[in-house]
Amino acid sequence: MQKITPFLWYSTQAEEAAAFYASIFPNSRITRVVTLPSESPSGPPGSVKVVDFVLFGQPFVAMTAGPLDPFNHAVSFVVNCENQTEIDRYWNALLDGGSAEQCGWLKDRFGLSWQIVPTALGDMMANPDRAKAKRAADAMLKMVKLDIAALQAAYAGTSK
């Protein structure tokens, strides 16, 4: 068993959310769904579900247990993408029923925040040539879904 596992609390849709995410990412699946057989602060026996699932080989746990605290931007998941095809695929899939935000962020239909990011952006931002890094950062800050070609052009100083 993994020592640290992300745990997500959903008001009503943990199993649906896990199935949605597993349908998007390779090497992903629901591994177990368990209902709590006892009365709990969240409801009667059977009303609380705990869902074990895997995304990209990473274990997660989700729970349906009624409203407590909604998701917010303080916790998000970063999807590192090697090319624009990956960015487009994950962005479009996770955005279905959700809302687009700035700088490669989106909120999915369950309210969870995701960052869909090209792996090259981290290298651009860390470049010791701070002028190049600034051009890439400035371009990224103007985007909603990230565009690798536009980021690379800004980084190189060739964008219009």
| Residues in Cβ contact with 142 at an 8 Å cutoff, skipping those fewer than 6 apart | none
Does residue 150 sit in the same domain as residue 92? Answer: yes
**Number of domains into which the chain is organized:** 2
Residue-range definition of the domain harbouring residue 150:
76-156
Q: Is the pLDDT of residue 159 over 80?
A: no
pLDDT of res. 62:
97
Last residue of one domain, picked from the residues 17, 36, 64: 64
The enclosing domain of 84 has a CATH number of 3.10.180.10
Instruction: Compute the mean pLDDT over every residue in the chain, rounded to the nearest whole number.
Output: 95
- Whether residues 34 and 14 share a domain: the answer is yes
149 assigned to some structural domain: yes
105 and 85 in one domain? Answer: yes
Residues ≥6 apart with Cβ < 8 Å to 109: 20, 96, 97, 98
pLDDT in tens, 82-112: 999 999 999 999 999 999 999 999 999 999 9
CATH number at residue 59: 3.30.720.100
Identify whether residues 96 and 49 lie together within a single domain: no
Please indicate, yes or no, if residue 51 is contained in any of the structural domains: yes
Cα distance between residue 19 and residue 3, in whole Å = 23
Domain-located, residue 95: yes
Per-position b or e across 47-83, b if 16+ CB within 10 A of its CB: ebbbbbbbbeeeebbbbbbeeeeebeeeeebebebee
Tell whether the model's pLDDT for residue 160 goes beyond 70: no
Give the tens place of pLDDT for each residue, 35-62: 988 888 888 888 889 999 999 999 999 9
The model's confidence at residue 127, banded by pLDDT at 50, 70 and 90, is very high
Name the range with the highest mean pLDDT among 36-40, 115-119, 156-160: 115-119
Same domain for 50 and 109: no
